[in-house]
């Protein structure tokens, strides 16, 4: 993934709500007089807008903060922590700077969706997976409609591969070998009905992986190049 320019990084922080009140006010003022910054903010808003549909607000439990403080300070809930209280917001921002915006976005999406999985029945309806190399390298967002047995892949930030193709695979211990779901990354969105032959339970529990193949796809029907991105589905809607 290409390194962000200072303006792009600032715009991303603004759109993701990572700035404090004074920083946000300063950026808002700059937007009125700096077209480049305004264009960068609008670009990030367009890029991240589809992810808003994947999450809903979740009310935290009343004892959540005390539990977090206890985990980070070593003190039980309801007691004073020895030393300074950990500033979680600053820790998050330092981590985000070190690992890059992509990692923060992927982690935020996965955490938000994972929280909604608590006490949920088995997966049904719409599922989503972030296909990534590591926490700092999300490349694709895969959305699966189990009822229609169809999926959409959105390119987030896959690394460019000269004269190569990305191919998506369904990998399950219920199948003798990975099954190709076709090429991805050739456009921003790829939508297709390629899951009709699979049981919903196999789809929901499979690993979805992306390999680098010769241009046009694997010549053998099996992955021949490096598997560079992978992820598993979690519930996206109630």
229 - beta bridge partners? Answer: 210
223 — pLDDT class (breaks 50, 70, 90) = very high
* Crossing angle of the two packed helices 21-31 and 6-16, in degrees rounded to 10: 120
**Residues whose CB falls within 8 Å of the CB of residue 191, separated by 6 or more in sequence, listed in order:** 150, 151, 152, 153
pTM value is: 0.51
18 torsion bin: left (phi>0), alpha (psi -120 to 50), beta (else): alpha
How is residue 151 written in tokens? 């999926």
Give the angle subtended at the CA of 112 by the CAs of 109 and 113, to the nearest 5°.
85
Unique residue bearing structure tokens 């935290």: 60
Which pLDDT belongs to residue 168? Answer: 93
Task: Give the pLDDT confidence of 94-150 residue by residue, as tens digits.
Answer: 445 444 445 545 544 544 444 444 344 444 568 888 888 876 668 889 899 888 888
What is the separation of C-alpha 210 from the centre of its chain, rounded to a whole number of angstroms?
A: 15
Which segments of 160-223 are extended strands (E)?
164-171, 179-184, 189-192, 207-214
Better-scored residue on pLDDT, 149 or 50:
149
Cα–Cα distance, 208 to 229 (Å, whole number): 8
Give the CA count within 13 Å in the CB-facing half-sphere of 164: 15
Give the CA count within 13 Å in the CB-facing half-sphere of 151: 26
Query: Which numeric CATH code is attached to 126-235?
Result: 2.60.40
Cα–Cα distance, 131 to 81 (Å, whole number): 39
Which pLDDT belongs to residue 212? Answer: 92
183 — pLDDT class (breaks 50, 70, 90) = very high
Tally of CB atoms within 10 A around 7: 15
Burial of 34 by CB count in 10 Å (0-12 exposed, 13-18 middle, 19+ buried)? middle
- 146, 206 contact by CB (below 8 A): no
Better-scored residue on pLDDT, 194 or 67:
194
């Amino acid at each position: 993934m290409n390194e962000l320019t200072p303006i792009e990084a600032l715009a991303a922080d603004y759109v993701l709500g990572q700035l404090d009140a004074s920083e946000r006010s300063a950026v808002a003022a700059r937007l009125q007089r700096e077209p480049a910054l305004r264009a960068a903010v609008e670009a990030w808003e367009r890029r991240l807008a589809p992810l808003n549909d994947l999450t809903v607000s979740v009310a935290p439990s009343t004892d959540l903060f005390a539990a977090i403080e206890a985990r980070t300070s070593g003190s039980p809930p309801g007691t004073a922590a020895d030393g300074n209280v950990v500033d979680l917001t600053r820790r998050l921002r330092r981590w985000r700077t070190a690992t890059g915006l992509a990692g923060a976005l992927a982690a935020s999406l996965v955490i938000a969706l994972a929280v909604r999985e608590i006490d949920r029945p088995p997966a049904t309806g719409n599922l989503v997976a972030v296909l990534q190399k590591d926490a700092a390298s999300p490349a694709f967002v895969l959305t699966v409609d189990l009822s229609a047995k169809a999926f959409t892949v959105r390119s987030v930030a896959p690394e460019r591969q000269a004269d190569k193709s990305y191919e998506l695979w369904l990998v399950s211990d219920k199948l003798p070998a990975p099954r190709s779901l076709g090429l991805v990354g050739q456009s921003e969105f790829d939508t297709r009905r390629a899951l009709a032959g699979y049981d919903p339970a196999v789809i929901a529990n499979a690993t979805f992986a992306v390999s680098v193949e010769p241009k046009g796809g694997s010549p053998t029907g099996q992955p021949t190049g490096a598997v560079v991105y992978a992820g598993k589905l979690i519930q996206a809607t109630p």
